Chain A
Amino acid sequence: MTSLTRRQALQTAAATFAATSIGFMSRAAGVPELTAVEWGGGVVDAMKLIAAKQDKVTVNWVLHQGGSGAILPKIKATWPAAEYDYVAGWEGSFNGMLKEDWLVPVTVDMVPNLADIPEKIIVKNAKGQWMAVPRAVGGIYFAYRADTSPIEIKSIEDLFDPSLKGKLCWPGPTQSMMLQIVALALHAGGDENNMDPGWALMKKLAESGNIGRIAVTDTDFTTSLTSGETVGGFYSEPQLTSVAAAFPVTRLTKTEGMPVFLYQSGFAVFQNRPNLQATLGFINFAISPEMSEIYAATAGEAPLNVKAKTPDNLKHLAFTPEEFDKFVYVPDFNVVLTNQDAWAKRWEDEIAPLI
């Protein structure tokens, strides 16, 4: 029988520890390790594909829990010790980060591929500095499953149809920055500065009994639609892409009276991180034409790099100038962001008791 002395056991343990430590240290020393916050589903899958096509950095992926604003309190809790090298977000969450002065301004010198991104879409601070790197454009709009919806939805009025009882999946008060109520307000003659008509219509919709589920996370929406619990609602393209992978989905992006909101998806780069150059390098790689196409195909957001080709399955997100004027509404995101607190409370006061 083979026996192991205590000394041999300790030597073996020490050798094993040393070997694994050397392996870990050499890896850590060779390639910077980034911590990035991304959306789940197709978005993080796309970013993993992109990360796999380079060897300059390795990435620890952290996923948004709930809306993209949910990460902000976690960052605030540890600030100025930022835990993340970049956080994926959009205009809404970027504006919150700007107000807290957390972000690194970016330039074409730092991220050369920014030269191929339309400048007017880049989020800027009060000094005009570029504060986030856009990677793609997504949309938030009305859509429904063509195979299960009892009616063909063509206008906001159709949402009140009795045949849709319990069949709508409606974003919760913290989803989509309440653009769903802005959409109702636009239909009723208001806008983000005059939301009363929208709230009146929202009350009417809540009272109709047609809302079967209030989606409080992205997956609530995809699960509800794919399981057949509900048939339609108002949500963003990545979630609709997930549903459309298995079921026919009609997106109402070019239907008069059904507002479309476009948003930029992009990267916010944080101060006080040790790997700033590596982070900027990875982001520059991710927005290159080839990677933008990979991202678009998997994530369901159209590329912003002018040299990248928009895939056929995202043609509904391509608008001619005339179509853009007719169907797309660009709200004042500063107004939208500033009112989130008041609108969430108004939802609790006026809408939640009705649904």
Chain B
Amino acid sequence: MDSKRRPNPLFLPAAGLFLLLFVLPMAGLVVESLRTYVPGRIGSAEGAPFTAANYAELVKPSFAVFFFQTLRLSLAAALVGVFCALPLAHWTARKLSPRWRTLAIGFFVTLMFLSVLVRTYALELTFGAVGPLGPALRAIGISTNSRGYIEILVAAGLLHYIIPMSTLTLLATFQNVDPRLTDAAQVLGAPAWKAHLTITLPLCIRGILAAFLFGFTFSISAFVIPMILGKGRVLFISNLIYTRFSEIANYPSGAAISVVLFVLAMLLVYVMTHLVNKRWAQ
């Protein structure tokens, strides 16, 4: 075997940890999802018979509604997040002096470290039914208790995290693109916007995809944000999983939903990555 193809032994500790902390628990989850649950018990009994019923019960319209609600809000938040982050990252990478760029990066990193709970409650207190903006929103006919408004608030909660994260991801991407390429295009007569759209963005597409996928995977697995801002009315799949595990103790059902969410999320990530690679392979 070619020594270059042999795995580096330094890879083993990380592989061992991955096996211990991810593969084994996931395998346990898959086994639990196939166990029979007896109502009133806490989880499945030891040696409970195997069944596919926990998966079969997910094939119903209500689960699809929860899934598409999670998917819809996650996609929207990830897309809006990337659109907001693109100009921010471009401006930071290209327009700021090194000193101000360092300060801007420090600011985005600080935002990432701010507790999710703090951001979420800040939004709830400001834009919630009894927040200072509540009366103003109601005065222009926006009900702070309407479902549409709650969905927007949940998406805003997700954006709080997605925008700084996407900005930092895209910052590195923009810095790796040689600015002389767009300069050359402009020298040859292309307007600035065209040079940007046809040269900079295509060269950044993988970074943009990475930023989008970071935002999307963060959103699809979000738990605290929909729990607090969703007022118990806008629920994500993670909230259903929590209910199954922690409140009604139906571990097999919770495990089945977790496995389905994991598989669907991986599938979506694969499809998007595949499409981008296929379109921009050259």
Give residues in A with beta carbon < 8 Å to B. 65-67, 69-70, 72-73, 75-76, 95-96, 99-100, 165-166, 172-174, 211-216, 220, 227-229, 334, 337-342, 344-345, 348-350, 352-353, 355
By beta carbon, the residue of chain B nearest A167 is B145
Q: Provide a sorted-by-A list of 14 A–B residue pairs whose CB atoms are within 8 angstroms.
A: A70-B247, A99-B42, A174-B248, A215-B232, A227-B130, A228-B129, A228-B130, A341-B37, A341-B40, A341-B253, A344-B247, A348-B62, A348-B240, A352-B62
What is the bound-complex CA distance between A228 and B41, given in angstroms? Answer: 38
Asked if A212 contacts B250 (CB within 8 A), the reply is no
Taking a contact as CB atoms closer than 8 A, the residue among B57, B128, B235, B249 that contacts A69 in the complex is B249
Asked if A96 contacts B250 (CB within 8 A), the reply is no
B243 proximal to A (CB < 8 A)? yes
Min CB gap B248→A, angstroms:
5
Q: Contacts A67-B247, A72-B249, A174-B243 known; A339 to B128 CB distance under 8 Å?
A: no
Asked if B62 contacts A166 (CB within 8 A), the reply is no
By beta carbon, the residue of chain A nearest B63 is A348
Residues of chain A within 8 A (CB-CB) of B160 are none
By beta carbon, the residue of chain B nearest A67 is B247
What is the bound-complex CA distance between A341 and B227, given in angstroms? Answer: 20
Residues of chain B within 8 A (CB-CB) of A355 are 147, 233
Residues of chain B within 8 A (CB-CB) of A220 are 232
Min CB gap A264→B, angstroms:
19
Asked if B62 contacts A216 (CB within 8 A), the reply is no
> What 5 pairs across the A-B complex have the smallest Cβ distances?
A214-B232, A174-B247, A166-B145, A349-B62, A229-B129
Chain B residues bordering chain A, tally (CB within 8 A) = 35
Residues of chain A within 8 A (CB-CB) of B37 are 341
B231 proximal to A (CB < 8 A)? yes
Residues of chain B within 8 A (CB-CB) of A215 are 232
Residues of chain A within 8 A (CB-CB) of B39 are 338-342
What is the bound-complex CA distance between A346 and B248, given in angstroms? Answer: 13
Extra contacts besides A73-B245, A76-B43 (12): CB < 8 Å: A65-B246, A66-B246, A69-B248, A174-B248, A220-B232, A337-B40, A340-B248, A341-B39, A344-B244, A352-B62, A352-B233, A355-B147
Question: Of residues A70, A99, A345, which shows the largest number of chain B Cβ atoms within 10 Å of its Cβ?
Answer: A345
Asked if A99 contacts B40 (CB within 8 A), the reply is yes
Residues of chain A within 8 A (CB-CB) of B243 are 173-174, 344
By beta carbon, the residue of chain B nearest A72 is B42
Residues of chain A within 8 A (CB-CB) of B233 are 211, 213-214, 352, 355
Interface residues of B in 138-176 (CB under 8 A from A): 143, 145-147
Residues of chain B within 8 A (CB-CB) of A67 are 247
Residues of chain B within 8 A (CB-CB) of A99 are 40-42
Asked if A216 contacts B245 (CB within 8 A), the reply is no
Q: Contacts A69-B247, A73-B249, A228-B130 known; A96 to B42 CB distance under 8 Å?
A: yes
Asked if A96 contacts B62 (CB within 8 A), the reply is no
What is the bound-complex CA distance between A336 and B240, given in angstroms? Answer: 20
Taking a contact as CB atoms closer than 8 A, the residue among A65, A214, A339, A348 that contacts B231 in the complex is A214
Give residues in B with beta carbon < 8 Å to A. 37, 39-43, 57, 60, 62-63, 65-66, 128-130, 143, 145-147, 227, 231-233, 235, 240, 243-251, 253
Asked if A95 contacts B40 (CB within 8 A), the reply is yes
Residues of chain B within 8 A (CB-CB) of A334 are 40
Residues of chain A within 8 A (CB-CB) of B42 are 72-73, 75-76, 96, 99-100
Asked if B250 contacts A341 (CB within 8 A), the reply is yes
Asked if A344 contacts B248 (CB within 8 A), the reply is yes
Residues of chain B within 8 A (CB-CB) of A228 are 129-130
Residues of chain B within 8 A (CB-CB) of A353 are 62, 65
Residues of chain B within 8 A (CB-CB) of A216 are 227, 232
Min CB gap B131→A, angstroms:
9
By beta carbon, the residue of chain B nearest A77 is B43
By beta carbon, the residue of chain B nearest A352 is B235
By beta carbon, the residue of chain A nearest B57 is A345
Min CB gap A58→B, angstroms:
29
Residues of chain B within 8 A (CB-CB) of A65 are 246
What is the bound-complex CA distance between A334 and B146, given in angstroms? Answer: 37
By beta carbon, the residue of chain A nearest B232 is A214
Min CB gap B237→A, angstroms:
11
Min CB gap A113→B, angstroms:
30
Taking a contact as CB atoms closer than 8 A, the residue among B130, B143, B250 that contacts A229 in the complex is B130
Asked if B232 contacts A172 (CB within 8 A), the reply is yes
What is the bound-complex CA distance between A227 and B144, given in angstroms? Answer: 14
Residues of chain B within 8 A (CB-CB) of A75 are 42
Residues of chain A within 8 A (CB-CB) of B247 are 66-67, 69-70, 173-174, 344
Min CB gap A52→B, angstroms:
30
Asked if B129 contacts A212 (CB within 8 A), the reply is yes
What is the bound-complex CA distance between A238 and B180, given in angstroms? Answer: 68
Min CB gap A118→B, angstroms:
26
Residues of chain A within 8 A (CB-CB) of B60 are 349
Residues of chain A within 8 A (CB-CB) of B227 are 216
What is the bound-complex CA distance between A337 and B248, given in angstroms? Answer: 9
Min CB gap A192→B, angstroms:
14
Min CB gap B38→A, angstroms:
9
Min CB gap A280→B, angstroms:
24
Q: Contacts A215-B232, A220-B232 known; A96 to B40 CB distance under 8 Å?
A: yes
Residues of chain A within 8 A (CB-CB) of B129 are 166, 212, 227-229
Residues of chain A within 8 A (CB-CB) of B251 are 73
